[in-house]
Structure 1
Amino acid sequence: MVKDREEHSDKTPVRQGRRNNAPPPNKISASTPYDFSGKNLTPYGGLLPVITMLEKLGFRALLNETLTSKRIPRAMDRYRFVLAIVLGLYIGFPRLNQLRFVARDPLLTGILEVSKLPVQSTFWRFLAALHLNVARQLLTLITRLRERVWQAANVKLETVTIDTDTTVHTLYGRQMGGRKSYNPKNKGKKSYQPMLTFLAETREYLAGELRNGDRPTGKQIAAHLRAVLAALPPGVKQIFARADAGFYCWDAIEAYLEAHCRFVVVARKTSRLVEQLRQAAWKPSADSDAEAECEFYYQPEGWKQSCRFVALRYEKARQQGEPGEAEQYPLFETSQYQYRVFVTDFGEPVAHVAWFYNQRAGAENLIKEANNDAGLAAHPSGRFDINRNHFQLAMLAYNLNCWLLLFQREPQADAGKLRHTTLATARLRFLFLAAKIWRHAGRTGVSYSDHYEEKGLFERLLNRLRRIAPRGAGYAAVMQPALR
Structure 2
Amino acid sequence: MKAIPARPHVQGCTAAIEVEPTSEQLTDGAGLAPFRAAWDRLGCGAWLDHVLGRRGHYRPSLQVEQWLALLLYGGSSMDHLPLLEKRGVQALFGWEAVVNPTTFGRFLRRTGEHGAGVLDELLLKTVRSRWDAAGRVPRVVMLMFDSTVVQRYGLKQAGAVNGYNPTKKGRPSHHPMLAFLDTGDCLGVRWRPGNANTAAGFEEWVEELVGWLRAQGVQRILVRLDKGFFKVSHIQKLLALEVDFVMKMQESNTLQRYKSPFVRSAEDPRLEVAEGRRWDVRLLSVRQCEVPPEGELDLGHVVLKHHLTVLTNIEGVDPLTAWRMYNQGAQVEHRIEEMGQLGVGRTAVDDIGGNHVLWSLGALAYQMLHLVRTTVLENGREQVKTIRALVIRTPGKLVRHARRLCLKLVDGDPLLRMLAHARDRLHWIRPVPLPVM
Q: Common fold, TM-score beyond 0.5?
A: yes
Contact 2:225–2:248 (CA<8 Å) still a contact in 1?
A: yes
SS at 1:376's partner residue?
Answer: coil
Contact 1:128–1:386 (CA<8 Å) still a contact in 2?
A: yes
Question: In the TM superposition, what is the alpha-carbon distance from 1:93 to its structure 2 partner?
Answer: 0.7
**Corresponding position: 1:146 with 2:127:** yes
Unaligned runs of 5+ in 1: 1-24, 300-305, 319-334, 411-417, 474-484
Question: In the TM superposition, what is the alpha-carbon distance from 1:454 to its structure 2 partner?
Answer: 4.3
Note closer, same or farther for the CA distance 1:409–1:431 as it changes in structure 2 (3 Å cut): closer
Contact 2:288–2:304 (CA<8 Å) still a contact in 1?
A: no
Q: Which residue of 2 aligns with 1:385?
A: 353
What whole-Å deviation, never above 9, does each CA across 1:314-348 have from its counterpart, x for those lacking one? 45999xxxxxxxxxxxxxxxx99983111101221
**Corresponding position: 1:307 with 2:256:** no
Mapped to 2, the partners of 1:360 and 1:213 lie a distance apart of 25
Q: Which residue of 2 aligns with 1:324?
A: none
What whole-Å deviation, never above 9, does each CA across 1:220-277 have from its counterpart, x for those lacking one? 2111212332443602111112110011113322332233221100111334203324
1:101 to 83, 95, 98: 83
Note closer, same or farther for the CA distance 1:236–1:101 as it changes in structure 2 (3 Å cut): same
**Corresponding position: 1:295 with 2:288:** no
SS at 2:356's partner residue?
Answer: helix
Mapped to 1, the partners of 2:74 and 2:422 lie a distance apart of 22
AA at the equivalent of 1:353: A
Which stretch has the larger CA shift, 389-398 or 141-150? 141-150
**Corresponding position: 1:216 with 2:171:** no
**Corresponding position: 1:79 with 2:61:** yes
Mapped to 2, the partners of 1:422 and 1:336 lie a distance apart of 33
2:39 to 49, 54, 59: 54
Mapped to 2, the partners of 1:354 and 1:27 lie a distance apart of 60
Contact 1:177–1:384 (CA<8 Å) still a contact in 2?
A: yes
**Corresponding position: 1:111 with 2:72:** no
Note closer, same or farther for the CA distance 1:447–1:286 as it changes in structure 2 (3 Å cut): same
Mapped to 2, the partners of 1:401 and 1:188 lie a distance apart of 35
1:405 to 356, 368, 373: 373
**Corresponding position: 1:121 with 2:90:** no
1:344 to 306, 312, 325: 312
What whole-Å deviation, never above 9, does each CA across 1:111-142 have from its counterpart, x for those lacking one? 2530x313221212222211222212211110
Q: Which residue of 1 aligns with 2:414?
A: 453
Note closer, same or farther for the CA distance 1:446–1:467 as it changes in structure 2 (3 Å cut): farther
Q: Which residue of 2 aligns with 1:420?
A: 381
Question: In the TM superposition, what is the alpha-carbon distance from 1:218 to its structure 2 partner?
Answer: 6.1
**Corresponding position: 1:362 with 2:331:** yes
Contact 2:161–2:174 (CA<8 Å) still a contact in 1?
A: yes
Within 5 Å, give how 1:428-447 maps onto structure 2: 428-447=389-408
Mapped to 2, the partners of 1:336 and 1:86 lie a distance apart of 46
Question: In the TM superposition, what is the alpha-carbon distance from 1:43 to its structure 2 partner?
Answer: 1.0
SS at 1:381's partner residue?
Answer: coil
AA at the equivalent of 2:152: L
Unaligned runs of 5+ in 2: 1-10, 293-302
SS at 2:30's partner residue?
Answer: coil
Q: Which residue of 2 aligns with 1:323?
A: none
Mapped to 1, the partners of 2:12 and 2:42 lie a distance apart of 43
Q: RMSD over aligned Cα, in angstroms?
A: 2.9
Mapped to 1, the partners of 2:192 and 2:433 lie a distance apart of 39
What whole-Å deviation, never above 9, does each CA across 1:440-473 have from its counterpart, x for those lacking one? 2233221111142343233212332246466999
TM-score of the pair, normalised by structure 1: 0.78
Question: In the TM superposition, what is the alpha-carbon distance from 1:183 to its structure 2 partner?
Answer: 1.8
Contact 1:149–1:403 (CA<8 Å) still a contact in 2?
A: yes
TM-score of the pair, normalised by structure 2: 0.86
Contact 1:107–1:437 (CA<8 Å) still a contact in 2?
A: no
AA at the equivalent of 1:39: E
2:162 to 148, 164, 180: 180
Question: In the TM superposition, what is the alpha-carbon distance from 1:217 to its structure 2 partner?
Answer: 7.3
Question: In the TM superposition, what is the alpha-carbon distance from 1:375 to its structure 2 partner?
Answer: 1.5
AA at the equivalent of 1:456: R
Note closer, same or farther for the CA distance 1:443–1:103 as it changes in structure 2 (3 Å cut): closer
AA at the equivalent of 1:294: A
Mapped to 2, the partners of 1:56 and 1:210 lie a distance apart of 29
Question: In the TM superposition, what is the alpha-carbon distance from 1:189 to its structure 2 partner?
Answer: 1.7
Q: Which residue of 2 aligns with 1:160?
A: 141
Note closer, same or farther for the CA distance 1:307–1:290 as it changes in structure 2 (3 Å cut): farther
What whole-Å deviation, never above 9, does each CA across 1:183-227 have from its counterpart, x for those lacking one? 2211222222111111112x1111221111224376621112123
Mapped to 1, the partners of 2:212 and 2:342 lie a distance apart of 21
AA at the equivalent of 2:24: K
SS at 1:341's partner residue?
Answer: strand
Note closer, same or farther for the CA distance 1:356–1:166 as it changes in structure 2 (3 Å cut): same
SS at 1:241's partner residue?
Answer: strand
AA at the equivalent of 1:83: E
Contact 1:290–1:312 (CA<8 Å) still a contact in 2?
A: no
Note closer, same or farther for the CA distance 1:120–1:338 as it changes in structure 2 (3 Å cut): closer
Note closer, same or farther for the CA distance 1:259–1:406 as it changes in structure 2 (3 Å cut): farther
Identity %, equivalent residues: 23
What whole-Å deviation, never above 9, does each CA across 1:139-176 have from its counterpart, x for those lacking one? 11101122122213324311111211111111111222
